[in-house]
Amino acid sequence: MRTQVGIVGAGPAGLMLSHLLHLAGIESVIIDARSREYCEHRVRAGLIEQWVVDLLLETGVGARMKKEALFHDGIYFSYSDGLHHIDFRKSVARGVAVYGQQEIVKDLIAHRLSDRGTILFEATAVKLEGIESGKPKIHFEHGGKADVIECDFIAGCDGFHGISRPALPERVARHYDRVYPFGWLGILAEAKPVADELIYAYHERGFALFSMRSESIVRYYLQCAPDENLALWPDGKIWAELKTRLGGEAGERLVSGKILEKGVTAMRSFVCEPMQHGQLFLAGDSAHIVPPTGAKGMNLALADVCVLARAFADFYRKRRRERLEHYSATCLPRIWKAQRFSWWMTQMLHRFNFEQDFDMRRQLAEIDYVVNSAAARTSLAENYTGLPMESVWRRGIAWHRRLRLLRTLWPRMGRRRH
């Protein structure tokens, strides 16, 4: 099998990259070890920044998102039994949207297949070969048979536990890692939302978060041990603990319901530098992990592939490698700013120990400062809704518009046969 860009992983990063490459007339093949049903239904991140909303709309995959997403202008902080609103729209004139990662995946898969793109589900990547040569290969197994994709470049979008990052030579890769001493016990439930926007709750018993997926499906999280035993958390105990930690007005509004899913997620921060070597380029969770407190994971993944798609387009249109060579250097400043923000939100809202100590009083003072300081609220809003994508996004929009116009005139523009 021959293509221009071989993509490992059919998550948001891999699918969006393939979609953007298609708009540029560049061929790609995606493989994923999971089934299509699994990819379309695994519940992950649900919050997207303003620029991602624009990206989905501008590139033709946002119609359902526009109809079904919940658009939020801010968030709430709950602490000391008080509920306090942070108005993003007032501070930075933009907001966020709640639209599940699985919904974006469904939309992208549907568009890639309607565009006759190749996605091989239940295809397990076994080995990446020749990334330091000009002829890399992806060896995989599909339908009980061994196969290989020959390509010009490989995009590793297969997550933290995939095979792409380990393919970087040890002499090249440097890992930056922080593991947190807690996790999140998360539930998905059929229940009435307790508020119209997300609630971040600080409590002496630990952090809690309210989110939603629709007007009848809610998502809650409780700070817990990273290896928490779910058997110790029957449904009634979860609802009681949520009521306590949300506290005050939010706790009084809480209505329990049928729990559809339950699980524990460990918390960590991770970055691999560089995000590229030879013909291999990492994107999304294969290159970096952030704690979910700042809601940055999927947004960073999509920012990565916007940069990478433009770099590939530059190569195939002009035979220029500068953007490819500077892929890591372009992405990493944004990634580290997101790491900083995610760490800041995490350390401010979680209990690192459970004594009535200095840190608890300091955290309460910090949250109170953010709520009551216009400067602090603006900083939070700017980071939460998404840092500017000036060099990547706004120019990228103009690039996509020109491509659509040119492809109308020359449908095979930019396509390179091998």
- Point out the residues that are catalytic: 72, 200, 292, 296, 384
As beta bridge partners, residue 261 has 188
Q: Shortest CA distance to 197 belongs to which of 79, 100, 97?
A: 97
Q: Shortest CA distance to 160 belongs to which of 356, 348, 318, 13?
A: 13
* Nearest-angstrom CA–CA distance, 171 and 186: 38
* Nearest-angstrom CA–CA distance, 270 and 303: 17
**How is 306-340 classified by DSSP, letter by letter?**
HHHHHHHHHHHHH---HHHHTHHHHHHHHHHHHHH
Q: What are phi and psi of 22, to 5 degrees?
A: -60, -45
Amino acid letter, 396:
G
Nearby residues of 373 by Cβ (< 8 Å), 6 or more positions away: none
Helix (H) or strand (E) holding 35: none
Q: Shortest CA distance to 81 belongs to which of 256, 204, 258?
A: 204
Helix (H) or strand (E) holding 154: strand 153-156
- The residue assigned the tokens 């979860």 is 238
Nearby residues of 349 by Cβ (< 8 Å), 6 or more positions away: 200, 201, 202, 207, 293, 363, 367
Q: Shortest CA distance to 274 belongs to which of 241, 233, 304, 298?
A: 304
5 touches 155 (CB < 8 A)? yes
